[in-house]
Structure 1
Amino acid sequence: MNRVIEGLAGKFQVFRLNLRRILSGAVARNALSLYSIRFANYILPLITVPYLVRVLGAEEYGLLGFAQGLVAYFSVFVDYGFDWSATRMISVGRDDPESVSRTAMAVWGAKFILLSVSIILLFPVTVLVTKVRTAAALVWIVFASLAGKVLFPTWLYQGLERMTGIAIINISVRSAGLIALILFVKQPKDLLLCAWILTIQSFLAGIFGVGWATFRLKIRWSMPSVSDIWGSLKNGLALFLSASATTLYTSGNAFLLGMLVGDFSTVGYYVAAERLVRAAIDALGPISQAFFPKVANLAHASKDLALREGRRILRVLAPLGAGIFVFTFALAPEIVRIVFGTKFMPSVNVVRILSLCIPNVALATIWSTLMMLSFKRDYAVLIILFLAGILNIALALLLAPIWGANGMATGVVMAETFVNAASFIYTLKHGLNPARFRPAYVRNS
């Protein structure tokens, strides 16, 4: 028994020391800033959920989730993987202000072109698809929020490791949006007003984000060349395709479920559960996002140093992911009752099923995002995510018509498990797995 206690104490000491290393220096400040952005993007909206599900009801809330799920596909198209590819480009050239400004102009130019194409693509969807046509006004209002996403330069601040400014912007704008929702959205017929408030806050965040970049980061505005825009698109192609594949088993599930089941109440139960679990998963995200520029630079200089850093992060993310999973699974009934109310108790099983994604995402983030992308194995990530997306759609078509929201959730978990397993095997096979990394002094002893 004493040996067990000593062993657990030793593991906790390792976890504490690695956490202390992670929570030091500029990377820690960026991680905290990213947490505040995630707080603004996910936790603040989650605070409004108990209110919105009560005033809108399951059906209207499901309809909102359905529209947001459709727009999520266009959001991925507009983002084009720039949150990772542009971050990597800016991180490498951040000591050259001219290079940073040139990259920023190219990325913004590419995003505006992609937004224009998205408008053209959405129009026939809202006319020809019956379920979408009945909610066309709502879909277009939600779609308008993409203008804010085009403007908001998370990739720029992340690459420069200057996240504090946009953290302040995000929290301020989204807090104001939260207050507006509570003040003006009072009943189910206020659904369109609710969507407008969410869209306006996204646009304001984008405007302030651009302003901060211009006046505080001294970004020089100029007309990007066609070759620069094309270069940014080419550089981000693999990551865009990866993000598109990811959407097949993450953001677009509410839309897919809405197309497969007969009522939007089922979609509402699923969306509520998904957002709750995604908020838990996003508690892990800022660590990987904050460390990505550092690990990418280390990978460029030394494979051993990058793997050493990955091992430290793994020793923090793995136990955190396991702990959040146990907490979410065990307390799902109480969490749903408090957050959504008794009318949303059908979401409990969905929460428990989706909570299995938490440890899978925690580990897959290390294998795929930090290691494979840092070592520029973009197309390997693409293949894994594309296969996971196809698996998710196939399982949704099979399970959702039978088990509804529970079937959709089961397909998502199996897709996330596939990503985790495939990424682990790839990094293991190619010597990029930090779990198997042995420092040089150990290998040579």
Structure 2
Amino acid sequence: MPLSTAADKSVLKSNAIWLYAMMGLNYVIPAAMLPFLVRVLGVEQYGLIAFAQAIGQYFVIATDYGFNYSGTRAVAQSRDDKDEVSRIFWTLTTVKLVLLFFGAFVMGGMIAFIPRMRANMGIYIVTYLGVIGSAVFPTWLFQGVERMRSISIISGLAKLSSAAMILLFVRNHDDSLLAAFLLSCGLLLAGVIGMIVALIQHVNWFTLPTRGDIYGALRDGRHLFLTTAAVSLYSNTNVFLVGVLGGDAQAGYFSLADKLIRAITGLVAPIIQASYPRVIRLVSESKDLALLFIRKLMFWFMAVGLVGGSLLFLLARPIALFSFGHNAIAVVPLLRCLSLFPGLAAMTYMLSTLVLIPFGFEKVQSRLLLSVGVLNVGVGFLLIPHYGALGGVLAMTAVEAVQMVGGTWLLSRGGISIARLLAMSVSRIDLATR
């Protein structure tokens, strides 16, 4: 039976709206806090927190292990079987908790043996609280059962509480540890509440996973884990590289530009995330239907990227002054260099999430992302020592373009021509797909 019924469209629309609400809070609240944190803490102390968060993000990726995709896919395929959903839930949760435990030992070792981290150990310790929150928040479960409303409300309330505490208690340059703690508390609170809601509404109480279940989860998630790890080589590593090679102040400037550009790019993420379970179901029914659905999104993303990039280039100065104040005027050239990034990132994210993964290209996608990630690190090492934060944003933009071209080429080799898809009329989508 076709999946494009009025009820299906209503669910997709509702999920996209709630994901927009969540993404809006996830990006708007931190973006709204940036001017306050920069003015109160200073760019250098803010850069220190951003550097710690960049390290924490590696642990988030490790504990996620690709389950936000493989877990969502597994739950979406078994959403009407509560026992099966519960088995998936407890298997993935057990694996994530074990990874979280080992991650804590690794973080402790880094603090003990790296002088720069040891000098600010408190900030790195409280940053790991955010890692815990991210690990226990079962985003993949809510996405798989297409209940994005729950994610949005929980995440939004936690972020608002964290922001309110920061505004009330962070007062001067010496409060950087408190600021880092309160930022992590928002993630931790969301994770705990999300776990409670999942237990009450969607799964049975604890079921001990078998060894086969655990091995199966690790096997299913490994290519997606490599994909997300590779993505971090260019989405997260640049903050780290700028901090190491350019210092905390340059890391602060880079992080300000990066957070703002990610907020703009994030405008399309709810549509992609809400569409992912739907594409999985469409592919199982008809690959042509899935491609038709994806084609419609492509045209929208291309238009938004063109208009948004042009506005960002022209309005970079007022945007920077409004967002961060005169203390961060150095962010203006960074934003202009990143004006192409939102459109490129939207297209690559869509190709990755809605085409490469659902159509079975996980292995080649992992190799592509690993390649561009390594390229990003290499370009970063060449540019950042000479240009600081500017070198970081130049590397970001170049690598995103390489990824889009590479993804399109891989799909064409697999029988899916993006150019041909865009040029075709709706009635002529007859691509040879795997």
What TM-score, normalized to structure 1?
A: 0.92
Counterpart residue number, 1:396: 380
Q: Is the 8 A contact 1:292 1:370 kept in 2?
A: yes
For these two proteins, the number of residue pairs brought into alignment is: 423
CA–CA distance in structure 1, aligned partners of residues 360 and 294 of structure 2: 15
Counterpart residue number, 2:301: 317
Counterpart residue number, 2:346: 362
Q: Does 1:380 align with 2:359?
A: no
Secondary structure, counterpart of 1:248 in structure 2: helix
CA–CA distance in structure 2, aligned partners of residues 129 and 356 of structure 1: 37
Q: Which moved more, 1:357-366 or 1:65-74?
A: 357-366
Distance 1:440 1:346, change over 3 A: closer
1:204 pairs with one of 180, 189, 203: 189
Aligned-residue offset at 1:440 = 8.1
Q: Is the 8 A contact 1:65 1:267 kept in 2?
A: yes
Aligned-residue offset at 1:149 = 1.0
CA–CA distance in structure 1, aligned partners of residues 414 and 426 of structure 2: 18
Distance 1:443 1:30, change over 3 A: closer
Counterpart residue number, 1:415: 399
Aligned-residue offset at 1:110 = 0.8
CA–CA distance in structure 2, aligned partners of residues 375 and 362 of structure 1: 19
- Superposed CA deviations along residues 76-111 of structure 1, whole A, max 9, x for unmatched, are 101111111100111111121111111011111110
Counterpart residue number, 2:97: 112
CA–CA distance in structure 2, aligned partners of residues 320 and 363 of structure 1: 11
CA–CA distance in structure 2, aligned partners of residues 341 and 350 of structure 1: 15
Q: Is the 8 A contact 1:307 1:434 kept in 2?
A: no
Q: Is the 8 A contact 2:130 2:187 kept in 1?
A: yes
CA–CA distance in structure 2, aligned partners of residues 91 and 219 of structure 1: 17
Q: Does 1:227 align with 2:200?
A: no
Identity value in percent:
32
Counterpart residue number, 1:271: 255
Aligned-residue offset at 1:28 = 1.0
1:83-232 matches, within 5 Å, as: 83-232=68-217
Counterpart residue number, 1:18: none
Q: Which moved more, 1:265-274 or 1:325-334?
A: 325-334
CA–CA distance in structure 1, aligned partners of residues 232 and 408 of structure 2: 21
- List gaps (5 residues or longer) in structure 2: 1-5
- Superposed CA deviations along residues 8-29 of structure 1, whole A, max 9, x for unmatched, are xxxxxxxxxxxxx999411111
CA–CA distance in structure 2, aligned partners of residues 326 and 271 of structure 1: 22
Q: Is the 8 A contact 1:82 1:236 kept in 2?
A: yes
Distance 1:54 1:23, change over 3 A: farther
Q: Is the 8 A contact 1:71 1:143 kept in 2?
A: yes
Secondary structure, counterpart of 1:89 in structure 2: helix
- Superposed CA deviations along residues 148-188 of structure 1, whole A, max 9, x for unmatched, are 11111110000110111221111111111111110000111
Distance 1:291 1:434, change over 3 A: farther
- Superposed CA deviations along residues 342-391 of structure 1, whole A, max 9, x for unmatched, are 11011111112223211111211232221110112111110111011101
Q: Is the 8 A contact 1:428 1:436 kept in 2?
A: no
What TM-score, normalized to structure 2?
A: 0.94
CA–CA distance in structure 2, aligned partners of residues 343 and 121 of structure 1: 36
Q: Is the 8 A contact 2:288 2:429 kept in 1?
A: no
CA–CA distance in structure 2, aligned partners of residues 205 and 441 of structure 1: 45
Amino acid at match of 1:131: R
Distance 1:254 1:441, change over 3 A: closer
Aligned-residue offset at 1:43 = 1.3
Distance 1:62 1:22, change over 3 A: farther
Amino acid at match of 2:20: Y
Amino acid at match of 2:183: L
Aligned-residue offset at 1:424 = 1.0
- Superposed CA deviations along residues 9-55 of structure 1, whole A, max 9, x for unmatched, are xxxxxxxxxxxx99941111111111122122221111111111100
1:234-249 matches, within 5 Å, as: 234-249=219-234
- List gaps (5 residues or longer) in structure 1: 1-20
CA–CA distance in structure 1, aligned partners of residues 75 and 15 of structure 2: 15
Aligned-residue offset at 1:199 = 1.7
CA–CA distance in structure 1, aligned partners of residues 62 and 274 of structure 2: 23
- Superposed CA deviations along residues 121-164 of structure 1, whole A, max 9, x for unmatched, are 22222222232222222111101211111111110000110111
RMSD in angstroms over aligned alpha carbons? Answer: 1.8
CA–CA distance in structure 2, aligned partners of residues 202 and 441 of structure 1: 46
Q: Which moved more, 1:227-236 or 1:125-134?
A: 125-134
Q: Does 1:55 align with 2:40?
A: yes
